[in-house]
Amino acid sequence: MDLTVVIPTYDEGANIKGLIEAVRGVLARIGARYEVIVVDAGSADDTRERATEAGAQVMVQTAPGYGGALKDGFRAAQGDYVLTMDADLSHDPSFIEPMYAMRAEADVIIASRYVAGGQAEMSRFRYVLSVILNRTFCFFLALPVRDISSGFRLYRRAVVDGMDITSRNFDVLEEILIKAYVRGYRVVEIPFRYLPRVHGQSHAKLITFGISYTKTFLRMFWLRYASRKSATSNRQSASRSGQPT
C-alpha cells in the first residue's frame, strides 16, 4: 500500500461522498495504491453510509476528539505514507497530487496557508486567531514553520507510527509536528489555498480550543527546551572527550 488517506468526520453527510470520490479520482490518476479511511466520531446523520457508498473504509472512533480520530486512523493505516485532510471540502483534493509528488523530499509535507503563495479564505476573526496561534508557537518553540496548525499533511508513516500522542483536540496538530521536528524529521511547507467550508458548521469550540492549545504549548515548550538542552550537553561532552561533533 503506497498511501493511506485519513479523514476524521462528524456529521459530514453533505460533504463526504463528493470528497471521497474526488480523492479517489486524484489517486487513480497518479497511480498510487491507496486506501481511504474515514474515522467517524458517532455522526447522527448519514456520514458513515455515504462514505461507505463512495468506497471508503469506515471505522467508528474509539478515542475522544480530533486527536483521538487521528490516533485511530494512524493505527489502522497500511500505507507507506499517511495523508490527513478535513472532511468539509476546505482541503482541495487536487492538491494531494503535488504533495505526494514531493514525498521523497521530506518526512512531513504541510499544505501551508502562510508561506509565500498560500491563501486562507476564512472569516477575519478566524484568520487573526490562526495567525496569532501560529506565530506564537513558532516563535517561542523556535520552529522554522509558518503553518503549524494545518491539518492537510502528508507524513512518512514512520513519523506517526507508534508516536505517543496525548492531545485530544485540534492541538494534536502542533503536538505531532513538534515531536516530529524534535526527533529530526524533515518538514517542508508548500503554498496552499484554504477554502471555506461547503456545507454544515465547524465543530471547533472556541473555549475548549483555547484551553487545549495553552496546555499543549506548555507541554511542547518543555519538550523543545529539554531536547535543545540535551543536544547542547551532548556537544559539550563530545568536545571535552575530543570527539568530533
Kindly provide the b/e burial profile for residues 180-193, where b requires at least 16 CB atoms within 10 angstroms of the residue's own CB. bbbeebebbbbbbe
Q: Does 18 fall in a domain?
A: yes
Q: Does 245 fall in a domain?
A: no
Q: CA-CA distance, 92 to 101, in Å (whole number)? A: 16
Global pTM reads 0.80
Please give the radius of gyration of the chain, using alpha carbons only, rounded to the nearest integer.
18
Q: Does 242 fall in a domain?
A: no
pLDDT tens profile 62-121: 988 999 999 999 999 999 999 999 999 999 999 999 999 999 999 999 999 999 998 887
Q: Over pLDDT 70: what percentage of the chain?
A: 80
pLDDT tens profile 170-192: 888 988 998 898 889 999 999 99
- Structural domain tally of the chain? 1
Domain interval for residue 86: 3-233
CATH number at residue 96: 3.90.550.10
